[in-house]
């Protein structure tokens, strides 16, 4: 099979916002307790946070982490998680039918984020609570001093404000499973009023309104339009969430699911711009794809679990090689939509549908999906170039037609003079002879070439075999330079993820 693609330095999508490589920690299962926080662990720091887990997160280069939920946030009283730990109440968490001890709250999480070199994307509860509690939380977190709540924070040992910049106005408020679910009218009104008072407390914040929980919701599209009708002038972003699975083991169909993600993004952009036109507004709403991943492996086990446990293993998907390929393809989709997707959060980060797994008190390791994320986050810096596909083999699957065998994204880093190519060959059987012409860019050498593939698409990493699926150095890629620029040729193994980084001139 063959693929021929063309990139041109002057045909760009946009600058890539680093925040598309965000992630998510919810008070859910073992994400916090037994995941990032494990005071008895040999690597725990003075605050009880696992250093080995922080090291893996640092390796993933995660610029922002959404917190504390998720469904959890819609029943959360943030006041339970501040002040002396011994005085904090344990509570029933109705979202996940567990017990929340409140040992970790907003101040502990801010400490953790500092240690993990990441920013906090804070969510407020618009399920059981409303604008008043949202403005209280932002006063507690972001106001310097001299008021009841800022001084309360200072009395809790946090002298400087956290200065959290990014705030989510609730979570999945259209979902019947959500505590305090709302109609678009109810949510739109509450979100607007919460946004107003939060911004009056701190005008420097950026706000995300909830879009639909996924594109299959009955109210999808009308929800977005109505919510934006109410909130357009008050928010910067609208959220999207999606999870994909392969429960019927149709891998060809599964590996095409990022095309659905692409369609979803483009439709939500269209809705945002429809409301923009309707309002004759000069402002553009961008997208926060703040939950995305593969999620299906753990659903059966979770249904059998006993209720009201503290930090039980929940949503602990063990990811396969093929999951890593779809995650790679989804990353490519997010990158290629960088003109409107400015924030995205891989959901989630540790233990719960996560690239990092831990044993409570024991080992930590990288799941298969860790690798495409870490690669894209590490080398995906700069300007996204617009792909133009000259020729590529295509096939049909159960739900998709004209599926290209190869997906690519190219990011040009003007500062370092490097061009990063991210490529998925989703053909399950055949290698693809690929040529990528770079317009007038001249490539002097290949500085990185990594490949993730395995003949067993169901292979996984475990505590005992943590590197069963790990990238290996690629070989055989070549650069040919004739006027006006270079062409890269390489053979993509069947069902593979590839990263090639080139040193380029003509930037
Ligand atoms: O990420 C797991 C859950 O998925 C989140 O709590 C919720 O927002 C979504 O339905």
Count of all residues that appear for the chain in the document: 507
- Please, what's the largest Cα pairwise distance for the chain? 72
Do 264 and 202 belong to one domain?
Answer: yes
Tokens in use for 103?
């040992």
Going through 82-133 in order, the beta strands assigned E by DSSP cover 91-93, 98-100, 119-124
Examine the domain organization and report whether 187 and 114 are in the same domain.
yes
Final residue belonging to a domain, choices 349, 371, 404: 349
Residues 404 and 344 in one domain: no
Residues 402 and 333 in one domain: no
Same domain, 440 and 337: no
Are 285 and 408 members of one domain?
Answer: no
Q: How far apart are the first and last CA of the chain?
A: 31
In this structure, the answer to whether residues 433 and 501 fall within a common structural domain is: yes
In a domain, 48, yes or no: no
Ligand 1 within 6 A of CB of 38: no
**Do residues 342 and 415 both lie within one domain?**
no
Domain contains 377:
no
Of 282, 172, 176, 268, the closest CA to residue 228 belongs to 268
What mean pLDDT is predicted for residues 298-320? 96
Together in a domain, 429 and 306: no
CATH code, 393: 2.60.40.1180
- The pair of structure tokens assigned to 310 is 């503290």
Task: Based on the fold, state whether residues 470 and 344 are members of the same structural domain.
Answer: no
Question: Which pLDDT value is given to residue 389?
Answer: 85
Q: How far apart are CA 250 and CA 275, in angstroms?
A: 38
Q: Are residues 297 and 389 in the same domain?
A: no
Question: What number does the ligand 1 atom closest to the CA of 243 have?
Answer: 4
Q: Is residue 47 part of a domain?
A: no
Active site residues: 172, 291
**Protein residue closest via CA to atom 8 of ligand 1:** 70
Is the separation of the CB atoms in 184 and 226 below 8 Å? yes
Residue 371 lies inside a defined structural domain of this protein: no
Q: Is the pLDDT of residue 183 over 90?
A: yes
Asked whether residue 52 is assigned to any structural domain, the reply reads no
CA pair distance 229, 224, nearest whole angstrom: 8
pLDDT at 353 over 90: yes
- CATH code (residue 224): 3.20.20.80
Give the model's pLDDT for residue 67. 98
Q: How confident is the model at residue 483 (pLDDT cuts 50, 70, 90)?
A: confident
Does 69 reside within a domain?
yes
Structural domain for 331, as ranges: 17-29+58-349
- State whether the Cα torsion 208-195-236-216 is positive or negative: positive
Closest residue by CA, ligand 1 atom 2: 70
Q: Whose CA is nearest to atom 5 of ligand 1?
A: 70
Q: Whose CA is nearest to atom 7 of ligand 1?
A: 70
List, for residues 413-443, the tens digit of each pLDDT value: 999 999 999 999 999 999 999 999 999 999 9
Cβ atoms of 388 and 336 within 8 Å: the answer is no
Q: Ligand 1 mean position to 174 CA, how many Å?
A: 13
Helix intervals (H) in 279-406: 299-303, 321-336, 370-379
Neighbour tally for 186: CB within 10 Å: 14
pLDDT (average), residues 240-263: 98
Q: What is the pLDDT of residues 37-79, one digit of tens each?
A: 999 999 999 999 999 999 999 999 999 999 999 999 999 999 9
373 found inside a domain? no
Please say which residue of 326, 349, 372 terminates a domain: 349
Q: What is the pLDDT of residues 99-138, one digit of tens each?
A: 999 999 999 999 999 999 999 999 999 999 999 999 999 9
Between the CA of 449 and the centroid of ligand 1 the distance, in Å, is 35
Ligand 1 centroid – CA 185 distance (Å): 22
Domain count, the chain: 2
User: Can you give the pLDDT at residue 390?
Assistant: 84
Asked, for residue 378, whether it belongs to a domain, the answer is: no
Report the relative pairing of strands 364-366 and 356-358 from DSSP bridges: antiparallel
In the predicted structure, residue 368 carries a pLDDT above the cut 90? yes
Q: Is 71 in the pocket of ligand 1 (CB under 6 A)?
A: yes
Tokens of 171: 């979570």
Angle at 67 between CA 82 and CA 111, to 5 degrees: 55
Q: Are residues 290 and 429 in the same domain?
A: no
Given 349, 367, 399, the domain boundary residue is 349
């Amino acid at each position: 099979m063959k693929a021929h693609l063309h990139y041109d330095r002057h045909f760009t999508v946009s600058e890539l916002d680093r925040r598309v490589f965000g992630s998510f920690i919810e008070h859910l299962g073992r994400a916090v307790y037994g995941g990032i926080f494990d005071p008895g662990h040999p690597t725990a720091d003075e605050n009880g946070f696992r250093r080995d887990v922080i090291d893996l997160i640092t390796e993933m280069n995660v610029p922002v982490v959404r917190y504390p939920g998720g469904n959890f946030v819609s029943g959360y009283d943030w006041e339970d998680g501040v002040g002396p730990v011994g005085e904090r109440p344990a509570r029933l968490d109705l979202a996940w039918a567990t017990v929340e001890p409140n040992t970790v709250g907003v101040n502990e999480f801010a400490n953790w984020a500092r240690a993990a070199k990441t920013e906090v994307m804070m969510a407020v509860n618009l399920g059981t609570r409303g604008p008043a509690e949202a403005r209280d939380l932002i006063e507690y977190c972001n106001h310097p001093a001299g008021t009841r709540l800022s001084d309360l924070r200072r009395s809790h040992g946090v002298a400087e404000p956290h200065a959290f910049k990014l705030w989510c106005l609730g979570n999945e408020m259209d979902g019947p499973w959500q505590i305090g679910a709302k109609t678009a009218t109810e949510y739109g009104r509450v979100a607007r009023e919460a946004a107003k008072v939060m911004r009056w407390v701190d005008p420097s914040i950026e706000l995300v309104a909830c879009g639909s929980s996924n594109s299959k919701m009955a109210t999808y599209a009308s929800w977005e339009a109505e919510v934006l009708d109410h909130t357009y002038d008050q928010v910067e972003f609208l959220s999207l969430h999606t999870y994909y699975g392969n429960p019927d083991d149709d891998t060809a169909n599964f590996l095409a699911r990022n095309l659905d993600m692409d369609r979803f993004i483009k439709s939500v952009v269209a809705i945002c711009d429809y409301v923009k036109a309707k309002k004759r507004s000069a402002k553009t709403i961008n997208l926060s794809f703040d939950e995305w991943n593969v999620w299906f492996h753990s659903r059966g086990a979770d249904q059998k679990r006993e209720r009201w446990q503290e930090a039980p293993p929940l949503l602990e998907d063990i990811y396969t090689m093929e999951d890593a390929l779809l995650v790679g393809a989804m990353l490519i989709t997010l990158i290629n939509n960088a003109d409107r997707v400015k924030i995205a959060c891989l959901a989630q980060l540790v233990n719960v549908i996560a690239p990092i797994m831990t044993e409570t008190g024991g080992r930590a390791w990288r799941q298969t999906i860790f690798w495409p994320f870490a690669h894209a986050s590490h080398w995906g810096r700069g300007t996204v170039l617009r792909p133009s596909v000259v020729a590529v083999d295509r096939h049909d699957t159960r739900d998709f037609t004209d599926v290209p065998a190869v997906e690519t994204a190219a990011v040009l880093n003007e500062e370092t003079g490097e061009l990063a190519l991210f490529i998925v060959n989703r053909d399950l059987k055949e290698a693809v002879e690929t040529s990528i012409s770079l317009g007038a860019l001249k490539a002097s050498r290949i500085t990185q070439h990594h490949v993730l593939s395995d003949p067993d698409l169901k292979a996984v990493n475990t505590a005992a075999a943590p590197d069963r699926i790990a990238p290996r150095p690629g070989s055989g890629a070549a650069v040919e330079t004739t006027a006006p620029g270079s062409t890269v040729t390489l053979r993509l193994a069947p069902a593979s993820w590839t990263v090639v980084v080139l040193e380029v001139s003509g930037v």
